[in-house]
Each structure stands twice: as C-alpha cells, then as structure tokens.
Amino acid sequence: MIQKIKNKFKSMGKSLCSSQRMKTMALMLAVGTTAAFAQNAAGDYSAGTTALGTVTTEIAKYIPYVVKLCYAIAGIVAVVGAISVYIKMNNEEQDVKKSIMMIVGACIFLVAAAQALPLFFGVGA
C-alpha cells in the first residue's frame, strides 16, 4: 500500500515537472523577478515629474475659458431648444413635454459641469 502511494507521488512529480503549466509558471517567475530588479535600478524620474507639473499649470490656465464655453453652449442649447419646442407646440405634436425635459436636463448638465470643472482640476477652489 505504501509502495503504491510512493509510486503515485513519483509519477505525479514527473508529470508536474514536464507539464507546460509548470514551465510557463517558472518563466513568469523569472521574468517577474527580472522586471522587479530592473525597476528598482531604473533611476531618476525628475524629468517626468517636472513635465507633469508643467502640464498641470498649463491646463489650469485654460479652465476659465472652458467654463465660459460651457455656459455659451448651454445658452445656445436653450435658445435652439426653445425654438424647437415652440415649433412642436404649434404643430401640436405629442412629445412636447419630453422635448422640454430633455432640453432643461441638457442645460442643467452643462451648467453643473461648468461649475464642477474648476473643482475637478483644483483651480479657484
């Protein structure tokens, strides 16, 4: 009985070592360790952080213009939507309420986005 168990473990050991799964796992382990050593020895990242800081300040300069643009688009949506609703009301169409709600929702979204944009980028908080 014990001899049977020993033979079973021996055969399992041979099949595990020769299986493709074990070879793949050993390769992944070797590549992972190599990548970890390479990352630790990579060096100085100051150029990247300086570039990110520069980009952040440049984007912050555009935020007031984008906010004004959002307000302008909301105004255009409101005017065009009002004309569209007026035409639908004169033609006695059925979905006037739906159109009004969609236009009001779009305007509210644009105004809310214009208010949240500076907070998202940390400008004028």
The pLDDT tens digits for 18-77 are 567 767 766 666 666 665 555 555 566 777 888 888 888 888 888 999 999 999 999 999
The pLDDT value recorded for residue 112 is 95
Report the chain's mean pLDDT, rounded to a whole number: 80
Phi, psi values for residue 85, rounded to 5°: -65, -40
Do 63 and 100 form a contact (C-beta atoms < 8 A)?
Answer: no
Tokens 């004169």 appear where?
Answer: 90
Tell me: pLDDT of 105 over 90.
yes
Q: What is the C-alpha to C-alpha distance for residues 26 and 12, in angstroms, rounded to an integer?
A: 18
Tell me: pLDDT of 109 over 90.
yes
Kindly indicate the confidence band of residue 125, based on its pLDDT and cuts at 50, 70 and 90. Answer: very low
Its pTM stands at 0.57
User: What is the mean predicted confidence (pLDDT) over 99-108?
Assistant: 95
**Distances 35 to 13, 39, 43, 48 between C-alpha atoms, Å:** 29, 6, 14, 20
Q: What is the C-alpha to C-alpha distance for residues 41 and 91, in angstroms, rounded to an integer?
A: 73
The pLDDT value recorded for residue 15 is 54
Tell me: pLDDT of 110 over 60.
yes
Tell me: pLDDT of 95 over 70.
yes
Look up residue 93 and give its DSSP letter. -
The pLDDT value recorded for residue 36 is 57
Q: What is the C-alpha to C-alpha distance for residues 9 and 5, in angstroms, rounded to an integer?
A: 6
Amino acid, res. 97: K
Do 85 and 107 form a contact (C-beta atoms < 8 A)?
Answer: no
Which sign does the torsion angle of CA 54, 55, 56, 61 carry? positive
Domain-by-domain residue ranges, the chain?
1-43, 47-125
